[in-house]
Amino acid sequence: MCRRFGGLPLSLRQSARHIAETRPTAQYRNGRLDLDSMDDLLRRLEQLNAIGASLSKERDITRLLESILLAAKTITNADGGTLYRMLDDHTALRFEILRTDSLRIAMGGSSGNPIAFPNLPLIDDTGSPNDSLVSAYAAIHHQTVNIADAYTEPNFDFSGTRRFDARTGYRSKSFLAVPMRNHEGEVIGVLQLINAQRPGSTEVVNFSLSDQSLVESLASQAAIALTNRLLITQLEELFESFINLINLAIDEKSHYTGGHCQRVPALTMLLAEAVNRTAQGSLASFTMDDRDRYELKIAGLLHDCGKVTTPVHVVDKATKLQTLFDRIGLIDTRFEVLKRDAEIAALRRQLELRDKVQPEAEAAIWTGFRADIEALESDRAFLRATNAGAESMRDEALARVRQIASSRVWRNVEGMETEFLTSDELENLTIKAGTLTQGERNTINHHIVATIKMLEKLPWPKHLRNVPEYAGGHHERMDGKGYPKGLTRDQMSVQARVMGIADIFEALTASDRPYKPGLKLSQAMGIMHKFKLNGHIDPDLFDVFVGEKVYLKYAEQFLDPWQIDEVNLPA
C-alpha cells in the first residue's frame, strides 16, 4: 500500500521535492526547502493527478481538448493559451482551442466561436522545416520551447504576435510550447501557453522550470487520453460504417426497406429524448447519459439487420400474386384463352345453322357469346382488383374468388382441361388483408428471430450489452401477444418499448412501401391510439409521443407535406 504524508501519497510528495530541488525557482531558508514552494507544488501536483483522472473519463473530443488547455492554464496560472492538432498528413498544425482571459477571447471548443486563423505550416516555401514559429518548432523537433520575452527572443519570428499586440493593446511576453506525443512517440499536437502570472496578481512572469515540468507531464497524459479517445472514436466510426453497410445491403435488396432502417433510429431517438425530459408520471425516473444514447442509437440502426435473410420477393410483394413477377398476367392469358374458345364455339354453332336460314338462332348464339365475354371480363376485372390487396376483403368477395376457381376450367398448352386457378393462386387471391400469405408473414416475421440470433453472437462491450434486447423487442406487445418471445410490458425495457412505437409509426406513415401509400398524420395517430387502448403499445410512452408532439417533429423531417394534417385524439 502507498504510505501517505500530510494527506498526500508519499510518492506525490517525493515528486514535488524532486521538482523543487532540481529547479532554480525553489527557495531555501536556513538550508531547508521553502514550505510555501513545496505546498504550492503539492497543490499543483494534486491538480495534475485530478486532471489526469478526469481526462481519461471524457468521451467528447472537443470537450477533452478544451479540458486539456484549461488545465494547463490553471496549473501554470497562464493568461492565455492555444491547443493545436497535427493534421493527418503531418504538414501543419490546426488551431483547435484558443483562450486569452484578460482580453476575453474564447474561440473553438464550447465557446461557439469558430477559429478563422490559418493552419501553421511545418514546411516553409523553400521546403525546409518551419523553425521560425514556436509551436511549429516544438512539433518538428519534439522539444519544449520556453521563452522569457517574445520581444527580445532572436531565434523565432514573433512579427505576427507584435501585430496582434499592436491591434489589441496586449503585451505578449512569456511563452511555453510543449509537444504532445502519443504512445508511439509521434507528435499529435502542441500545447502553447502565454504570459504566466504571479499568483494573486496580473504581473507577467516567466514560465518556471517546474511549470514546464508539470505541463510536460500534463501533455503526456493528455496525449494518451486524446489518442485513446481518437482510437475509440475511429472504432466506433468503423462499427457504424459496418452497420450502414448492412443497411445498404438491405437497401440494395429492396429499396422499400432501406429508408426504414434509417428513419426508425431517428424516431427512436426523438421519442427517447422526450422521455428523458419527462419529469412526471411513471417515466420520470428514466434517464439517459451519452453512453445510453449511443447504445440505443446502435440498437436502432441494427433493429432490422435480420432482413438480410428475408427473400426479396417476399419483402417487395406489392400484389397478392407477385413472386419474381406478378402472376396476374398468367390469369389474364387464361381469360384470353377462354374468350377465344367461347368465340370459336359460338362461330361453330353458327356455321352449323348455315344450311338452314335461322337468323334468330344465330343472333341468340351471338348474344349468348357476348354475355359469356362480359362475364369473363367481369371476373377478370374482379381478380385484378383483388390482386391489388389494398383493402380488407369481405366474405362475399372471398366466396366469389372460390366460385371462379371451382366453376371455370381452361385448356392448357398440352390441350388438357385443367383448373382455372392453381391452389397456390387461390390461396394468395383469398388473402383477407394485405398481400402476404400466412407462410410469407412467418417468413417476414422470422427477420426479428434472425436479428436476435445475429446480435447475440457478437461480443458486445459492457456499454453496448443491451443492444440485442433493445433491437429484438420492437415486435413485442404490451399484452404479451407479440413476437418472437411473447414478452409483456413488465418484461421489456423502456428502450425496447420506445423502439416498438417508432417501428409501427414509421411503417404507417412510410410512403415507399410497395403495397400501400403512406398515411396522413391524423390517420396514423388514430391507429396508434387504438393500439394504445388494445395493449399493443405502451400507453405511457404514447402519451409522451403525443404530449411532446414527437410525431410532428418526425413528420416535419421525414414526411411529405400532404401527409401533415391536424391531429385530434380522444382525451
Select the more confidently predicted residue: 218 or 12: 218
Q: Which residue has cell 404507417? A: 508
Mean pLDDT of 193-221: 88
Mean pLDDT of 268-293: 93
The model's confidence at residue 512, banded by pLDDT at 50, 70 and 90, is: low
pLDDT surpassing 80 at residue 23: no
Mean pLDDT of 183-191: 87
Closest CA to 256 of 321, 290, 304, 299: 304
CATH number given to 254-310+440-563: 1.10.3210.10
Percent of the chain having pLDDT more than 90? 47
The model's confidence at residue 192, banded by pLDDT at 50, 70 and 90, is: very high
Q: Which CATH number fits domain 60-231: 3.30.450.40, 3.20.20.370, 3.30.460.10, 3.30.499.10?
A: 3.30.450.40
- Helix (H) and strand (E) counts for the chain? 19, 14
pLDDT surpassing 60 at residue 14: no
Q: Which residue has cell 502507498? A: 2
pLDDT digits (tens, 9 = 90+) for 437-472: 888 888 888 888 999 999 999 999 998 999 999 999
CA distance 138 to 144: 6
pLDDT digits (tens, 9 = 90+) for 368-389: 889 989 999 999 999 998 998 7
Helical pair 539-547 and 255-276, crossing angle rounded to 10 deg: 90
The model's confidence at residue 513, banded by pLDDT at 50, 70 and 90, is: low
pTM of the model: 0.67
Which residues are within 8 A (CB) of 91 and not within 5 positions of it... i.e. 6 or more apart? 121, 122, 123
Which residues are within 8 A (CB) of 527 and not within 5 positions of it... i.e. 6 or more apart? 508, 519
Which phi and psi angles does 340 have, rounded to 5°?
-65, -45
pLDDT on residue 63: 79
Taking the domains of the chain in order of start, what are their residue ranges?
1-57, 60-231, 254-310+440-563, 328-435
pLDDT surpassing 80 at residue 159: yes
The model's confidence at residue 515, banded by pLDDT at 50, 70 and 90, is: low
Which of the 8 DSSP states describes residue 124? -
The model's confidence at residue 317, banded by pLDDT at 50, 70 and 90, is: confident
Select the more confidently predicted residue: 45 or 243: 243
Q: CA-CA distances (angstroms) from residue 403 to 215, 408, 425, 426?
A: 89, 8, 14, 10
The model's confidence at residue 222, banded by pLDDT at 50, 70 and 90, is: confident
Mean pLDDT of 275-288: 92
pLDDT surpassing 50 at residue 261: yes
In CATH terms, are 60-231 and 254-310+440-563 the same topology? no
pLDDT on residue 225: 76
Half-sphere exposure of 539 (CA within 13 A, CB side): 9
Mean pLDDT of 150-162: 92
pLDDT on residue 258: 56
Flag the least confident range among 172-181, 261-270, 506-515: 506-515
Mean pLDDT of 81-97: 91
